[in-house]
Chain A
């Protein structure tokens, strides 16, 4: 198959763009396992930087995982019921509510963080605990959970499903847990992955809310970039990459659910 010169021109451009994104990632992986990055690979490969990062910053990794899971729990508990009501009642007020919930994402995290500090900073116990960071993460990730669940709920006829279950004598609790939730599994799962990924990487709000004892992974990264040698920052970044790759792969896999793939195949063949 022969291609036009324009194809190769565009290909070269696209490869250049991708190189811009991927070259620094490769560099940071190399720097993280090189004895001395300034000299280069010939100085020898080592895992000592990774070990050093682990001894310096392993706490931040566990705190980030803990906060991400707590954020997930809260957004599930308050976000899924909210999405259900927003899907069932579509009027002016519920639309306003949807708008409101997105605001913490629409305004810079710095503003949200300053606001939280100015109002709650005086409560020492709360200010220095990890739950202060949890609050920021919940505000920031909640709209993603609500939207993701709402998108699935909007595509199914909730009311008919519920009426059918109710006519068979199912109570609301039974309907909610055995009819509604199973039907929006996809949306809940997609939202959950999004929430965990965003929480793990959140910096703009967290930097203002953290204390020396409540450092999360991205906060630790900023700390290592500013005060440690390049190799340690790089090794730490490798650990961050390793933690988000499974989440990204799962999200990629979720964004193409089996039924969509099957439909696409059917379309191709028929």
Chain B
């Protein structure tokens, strides 16, 4: 054999990558290519890709999904910064219990999150029975936009709080001390010292939260709301109307949006934005 060690090593590395490349190409790249083709192969052709903007029904579904996801992201970040900074900075009795309650829901599938919302604000829900007892009227939110909002908050908060706590651990306390000694108010310290230092973590966890919310299917599916978020619209087109081309086109558009959000966040925040589960 006349091959050099370097060449042998290169061949070995190729051989070790081969299984992954084969499986990934056969079961993701090729199917995705097919999805793109099917999206353009319907009665309307390429125009199916524009349907999400030109068709009022799909456009309103897109807009409500984006608005919902953006609102959830914003609310999650505000809640998580307050609670996360508090848990990171203070030691008190019961702190580890509170931390544990944040970790547990991380592994819940979307369907379980939907069920949690039903138990909380559904027809036989906890909040409903309290308001019935207090005001004689049941408060039922689960099957409306508010229910979706609560469900998306439910799966977003644990992820974002844990990311913020990890970032807050690395903050330089001396900077805050310096700001305070120079006469900065607590609010100024938060605005000018803490938030800028947390920015990369906020951007990356915010992007993950937004992307996950855009694609969340299980939660909306369980709540069976009248509100058509994009994943439910796609599912309906595919299974109820067998409108494969449109379902394919819409899911490509949705995939592009979530991918773009994550890629954009990574280029801004610089750090690796691991995608969401």
Contacts and interface: CB of A to CB of B under 8 A. Distances in A.
B118 interface: yes
Given A23-B120, A202-B109, A225-B111, A89 B13 contact: yes
A100 B101 contact: no
Interface residues of A, number: 81
Nearest to A141: B277
A160 to B, nearest CB: 15
Interface in B1-34: 12-13, 16-17, 19-21, 23-24, 27-32, 34
A30 to B, nearest CB: 9
Nearest to A78: B19
A115 B116 contact: no
B16 A81 contact: yes
Interface stretch (A5-13, A43-51, A53-61, A181-189): A5-13
B62 to A, nearest CB: 13
Contacts of B23: 74, 78, 138
B206 interface: no
A85 B12 CA distance: 9
Given A27-B126, A204-B110, A207-B221, 4 more contacts: A13-B83, A77-B19, A85-B16, A142-B20
26 contacts: A11-B90, A15-B98, A17-B161, A18-B101, A20-B120, A28-B115, A79-B20, A82-B16, A106-B255, A110-B231, A110-B251, A114-B234, A118-B31, A119-B30, A138-B27, A142-B20, A172-B12, A202-B109, A203-B109, A203-B110, A222-B111, A225-B111, A225-B115, A233-B115, A234-B119, A247-B107
Interface of B: 12-13, 16-17, 19-21, 23-24, 27-32, 34-35, 38, 79, 82-83, 86-87, 90, 92, 98, 101-112, 114-120, 124, 126, 153-154, 157-158, 161, 186, 211, 214-218, 221-222, 224, 231, 234-235, 238, 244, 247-248, 251-252, 254-255, 258-259, 262, 274-277
Interface of A: 6-7, 10-11, 13-15, 17-18, 20-25, 27-28, 31, 37-38, 74, 77-79, 81-82, 84-85, 88-89, 97, 100-112, 114-116, 118-120, 135, 138-139, 142-144, 147, 172, 197-198, 200-204, 207-208, 218, 221-222, 225-226, 230, 233-234, 237, 240, 244, 247-248, 252
